[in-house]
Structure 1
Amino acid sequence: MRTEHNDPPPAVHLTGVTRSYGRGDAQVHALRDLSVSIPRGTFTAVMGPSGSGKSTFLHCAAGLDTPTSGSVRLGDTELSGLSETALTLLRRDRLGFVFQAFNLLPALTVRENITLPLRLAGRKTDQAWLTEILHRVGLSARADHRPSELSGGQQQRVAIARALVTRPEVLFADEPTGALDSRTAAEVLGLLRQIVAESGQTIVMVTHDPVAAGHADRVLFLADGRIVDSMSAPTTDRVAERMARLGAWV
């Protein structure tokens, strides 16, 4: 059972993060002195116009990219001082990733795709946990099927299960419903919402879709590399209105 805290320690904390590319007149600032905390056990959506820094934010928060300056902490771990090998191990052991592309191996079954991260890490599969995950994502009856035998929504459920099998501290999702129709997307988003509610999983999701953001606990709005606003208890209409004010649809 999830334990409630008045002030839970952050799962991810960014302090003064700037990410620049290029030099001189050609320099581009993807993130500018950005500071934010992501509380544990919450579902955070990150939105903003094209070029606002959403993907760079996710990449820096997840240790996939290194800030030009500033600090990124995963729990009590400062990422800036870690070697590339240490970062790779951290991403493998403590983080989960879901992308728009399902990235499933066609020759492997659902069960084999889900447990692939464990096999690559040389870790044994906890069969009880695997059974629970298969049930949670609604694929218990499909465990021995291959991706070609699944719908797009089912394939994304496999990708989510694969991200959860290592029991990550944070699950990062980059446009996870971008390749799905609206009905299937709603089912996947409902699943993510359920995972947060039932197991206290921390999820950070980049999306351009106000409907997707409406499933989150909080929405962070980025513009020109800065967080310019946030919204608690978001609804689709409120998010769409706020995005329109940012010029996202221009």
Structure 2
Amino acid sequence: MMTMFRTGARGDHDPGPAPEALRLVKVTRTYGTAENAVTALDGVTLSLGRGTFTAVMGPSGSGKSTLLQCAAGLDRPDSGIVCVDGTELTGGGEAELTKFRRGRVGFVFQQYNLLDTLTVAQNTVLPLKLAGRRVDRRRAREVLASVGLGDRLGHRPDQLSGGQRQRVAIARALVTEPRVIFADEPTGALDTRSARQVMLLLREAVRVHGRTVVMVTHDPVAASYADSVVFLADGRLAGRMDAPTPDAVAERLAHLGDDVPTGV
């Protein structure tokens, strides 16, 4: 297991955005023991530049969700190196990892993870409060307006559609001004129109606001909004596609099992 937590600068000084948003070096993650062991990631090495939008795809059980969790510091690999925005997440205490995630990472999940008792505005600024950061309510209103929810500030989640809830989740991720946004099946519970709106917002986060988005998805249409797609099979990298189209992605997925993983 890894035992250190390193940053790209001394002390708490923020050195600014790193050229690489995400770097994994020979990352391995195994669950279970002995004969019941399952290797979810098998020596994965991957580098993603800052200000890019990458989709991660593969069959069920290919390791894509484990890759996202290890990359985001939500799970710890058994071996290898994970760097996010120039910071090496090699071990360290959970408190350090939590502080790092709250400061530089945003999350968007399939199930929204909104608190039913809080309003849209309160849900949006919750990460700032949890991190002990100053809450700029004007900035929060601007972010909510940018995702089309400027007239829903006082609503609660049960008063919103699924697409609107996911837009709150995106606003919540953006309001902390993270360097990297990790999205896990963000359109999985949405209808086609809402899914398109969510994907346009994520792409805007990259192209307009300079964020880096890493998204796990099973949907070739959602993947086509990304700059590139990274494919996984049996816990190993199985290729990469730039400027993806839905048809090309679907074709590649259909034949993943035919090829020996070649890496990226």
TM over 0.5: yes
Moved more, 71-80 or 204-213: 71-80
Aligned to 2:147: 137
Aligned pairs for 1:197-216 (under 5 A) are 197-216=207-226
Aligned to 2:82: 72
From 72, 86, 90, the counterpart of 1:62: 72
Q: Distance in 2 between matches of 1:81 and 1:181?
A: 39
From 182, 189, 196, the counterpart of 1:186: 196
Any stretches of 5+ residues in structure 1 without a counterpart?
1-7
Cα shift readout 1:89-129 (whole Å, capped 9, x = no counterpart): 11111111110001111221110110011112222212342
Aligned length: 241
Q: Distance in 1 between matches of 2:118 and 2:86?
A: 36
Aligned to 2:133: 123
Amino acid at match of 1:118: L
The alignment-based identity, stated in percent, is 61
Aligned to 1:246: 256
Q: Distance in 2 between matches of 1:200 and 1:218?
A: 16
Task: Work out which structure has the larger RCO, using CA pairs closer than 8 Å and 6 or more positions apart in sequence.
Answer: 1
3-state SS of paired residue (1:141)? coil
Q: Distance in 1 between matches of 2:22 and 2:256?
A: 26
Amino acid at match of 2:107: F
Aligned to 1:4: none
Aligned to 1:52: 62
Aligned to 1:85: 95
TM-score by length of 1: 0.93
How far off is 1:247 after superposition? 4.7
Q: Distance in 2 between matches of 1:237 and 1:215?
A: 13
Cα shift readout 1:36-88 (whole Å, capped 9, x = no counterpart): 01111111000000000001000100001111110001122111132111011
TM-score by length of 2: 0.88
From 148, 152, 167, the counterpart of 1:157: 167
From 22, 28, 34, the counterpart of 2:38: 28
Q: Distance in 2 between matches of 1:146 and 1:24?
A: 48
How far off is 1:242 after superposition? 0.3
CA RMSD of aligned residues (A): 1.4
